Chains A and B, each alone.
Chain A
Amino acid sequence: MRRIILERAYHAGVGHIGSALSVVDIIAALYAGTLRIPGPGHPERDRFVLSKGHAALALYAALFLKGWISEETLKTYCTDDTLLGTHPERRLPGVDFGSGSLGAGMSYAVGAALAARMQHSTRRVFALVSDAECNQGIVWEAALFAAHHRLANLHVIIDLNGQQALGYTRDVLDLEPLAEKWQAFGWDTQQVDGHSPQAIAAALESRTQEPARPHVLLAQTTFGKGVPFMENKIKWHYWPMSEEEYALALENIL
């Protein structure tokens, strides 16, 4: 998946590479086993919302590997007349909700979880939210609601990479203590290594069922993970790769 991300980002000449690399293992865990999706559009599929829409390229890699989008479609990434922009559009097969405006996806996910419960369905809802997204008031409005209504079919994974567009989260708007905040909001709160798909999958399956509470997984990640020269560098939020950097990235990919 990392290779696909680097290839497409290089050929399109666009950034958001560090964010996609940060969530790639989380998305791999979800699509390799956790998500129960008989097919895109199936009414009883688990829902997934990439609330941090700017990591779309990692999602496209997963949709491609699932066989839901073709290689030709994948190669249209960020070209004219594509469905694959830097944030996911709703018309793309496998995208339940379009995103790109931070925080909104979290609210859609809570609605989707409420819908599943009202329909007596066993389907579950997963949302991937960035740490900086927790700057948004809507995240906490939605968190209050989900806890009050005990939406145990809802899993929110926070990509805790410590970075946002213009700086480190601790310098821009400090979120800590974040686990305590989610606990105080009434969520079943767990921490996990965000680069271990096995640990992520296990945490999503093993969470406490009683009392019924929504589940948040604080996934400790490294921005730009897997490409050493990109790791924890603010530059790689927006910056595209030069030819030399692309070669170096492919050579050093972990």
Chain B
Amino acid sequence: MRTAFIQKLLELAAQDPRILLLTGDLGYTVVERFVEAFPQRFVNVGAAEQNMIGLATGLAEAGFVPFVYSIAPFAVLRPFEFIRNGPVYHQLPVRIVGVGQGVEYGLNGHTHFGVDDVGTLRTQPGLAIIAPTDDAQTRAAVEKTRALPGPVYFRLSKDSFEIPELGGAFDLAQAQWIGSGADVLLISSGAITRETLEAARLLEAEGLGVTMLIVASIAPAPLQDLVDALSRFRRVFTVEAHYITGGVGSLVAEVIAGHGLNVRLVRLGFETLFDDRLGSASFLHSAHGLSAAQIAARVKETIHENA
């Protein structure tokens, strides 16, 4: 996704001179092509993310559209108050790009995990939060948010891949539907949707009908799609590479409660990550119950409990 992102950014920057790229000294093998194409519109601000957001605020006030790039927790959590008081409060078009959905930096350890970025940023009114599902959706999301006058957060995966069922669809405040089975609703966000899709296949192989809803536009939330889907099922499962508090599972809980819907919600995500187990993202997903087989098993268990 980060490569798809930079390709799209190059394309937009060629048309729009307001676009700048700032990095907090990260993005080796990603930012170089932008630097070659637009050396005057690239700034490595050094390892100083608070200042990066402050600079972007000053640049955006003067008419630029600065994209700021770092690993998710450094892009979001270190400078969170600067995001709040800068682009959010001043309603400026700063684009924050955080790489590493969930535990993709799995061998770098706890400091590098992006498991609380969405929950933290979801508190901020007027900030668009976009977690693309694959490369094609990343390109579409960058394109479709280009004219937003306020700030945007892009939560990008390190990995490059396509989910053909999605066909690159993306729209703000809309979700994407895959399948139309009547037994179970799976709501998934981000690259971990690869596991969710595989879980759906496993469930379908056992004769269960599955509908999947993909939430890439976390804010503005796809309210209509969520209410439509949640009204039609008795059981819904959310799957995300995030702590179970604050992310898409919490968003779905808010929609259920707010609309008085009669549906049982199971949120799948990380409960804690303090056990210091490190490894690849797929190892860590398995270690925390988020592999395709574990998701499918959890769905079946819940159905049987309620049968």
Q: Which residues of A contact B (CB under 8 A)?
A: 43, 47, 90, 96-98, 100-101, 104, 106-116, 118-119, 125, 137-138, 141-142, 144-145, 148-149
Contact = CB atoms under 8 A, between A and B. Distances in A.
Given A90-B89, A145-B45, A116 B62 contact: yes
Contact of A111 (B40, B41, B48, B57): B57
Interface stretch (B78-86, B97-105, B142-150, B189-197): B78-86
A118 B43 CA distance: 11
B58 A144 contact: no
A111 B62 CA distance: 9
A97 B90 contact: yes
A90 B90 contact: yes
B55 A145 contact: yes
Contact of A115 (B53, B59, B86, B89): B59
Contacts of A107: 50-51, 53-55, 57-58, 82
Nearest to B64: A115
B62 A108 contact: no
B57 A118 contact: no
Q: What class of interface size applies to chain B in its complex with A?
A: 20 to 34
B48 A145 contact: yes
A190 to B, nearest CB: 23
Contacts of B48: 141, 144-145
A110 to B, nearest CB: 6
A135 B63 CA distance: 31
Interface in B53-80: 53-64
B109 interface: no
Interface in B100-128: none
Interface of chain B: mostly helix, strand, loop or mixed: helix
A91 to B, nearest CB: 10
Contacts of A43: 62-63
A110 B64 contact: no
A114 B20 CA distance: 12
Nearest to B20: A118
A142 to B, nearest CB: 5
Given A90-B90, A145-B46, A111 B85 contact: no
B153 to A, nearest CB: 19
Contacts of B82: 104, 107, 138
Nearest to B58: A111
Interface of B: 20, 40-41, 43, 45-46, 48, 50-51, 53-64, 81-82, 85-86, 89-90
Given A118-B64, A141-B48, A142-B54, A111 B59 contact: yes
Contacts of B51: 107, 110, 138, 141-142, 145
B81 A108 contact: no
A118 B86 CA distance: 20
Contacts of B64: 115, 118
Contacts of A149: 43
The 6 closest A-B pairs by CB, nearest first: A111-B58, A107-B54, A115-B62, A111-B55, A112-B58, A141-B51
Nearest to A123: B62
B86 A104 contact: yes
Given A110-B51, A111-B54, A145-B55, A104 B85 contact: yes
A106 B54 CA distance: 8
Contacts of B53: 107
Contacts of A109: 58
Contacts of B86: 104, 108
A110 B58 CA distance: 7
A118 B40 contact: yes
Among B51, B63, B82, max chain A CB count under 10 A is at B51
Among B20, B55, B61, max chain A CB count under 10 A is at B55
11 contacts: A90-B90, A97-B90, A100-B85, A107-B82, A109-B58, A110-B55, A111-B57, A113-B58, A138-B51, A138-B82, A144-B46
A17 B43 CA distance: 40
Contacts of A125: 58
Contacts of B85: 98, 100-101, 104
A108 B46 contact: no
A43 B41 CA distance: 20
B40 A115 contact: no
B121 to A, nearest CB: 18
B62 A119 contact: yes
Among B56, B57, B58, B86, max chain A CB count under 10 A is at B58
Given A107-B50, A141-B51, A114 B58 contact: yes
Contact of A114 (B46, B59, B81): B59
Nearest to A137: B50
Nearest to A109: B58
B56 A111 contact: yes
A94 to B, nearest CB: 14
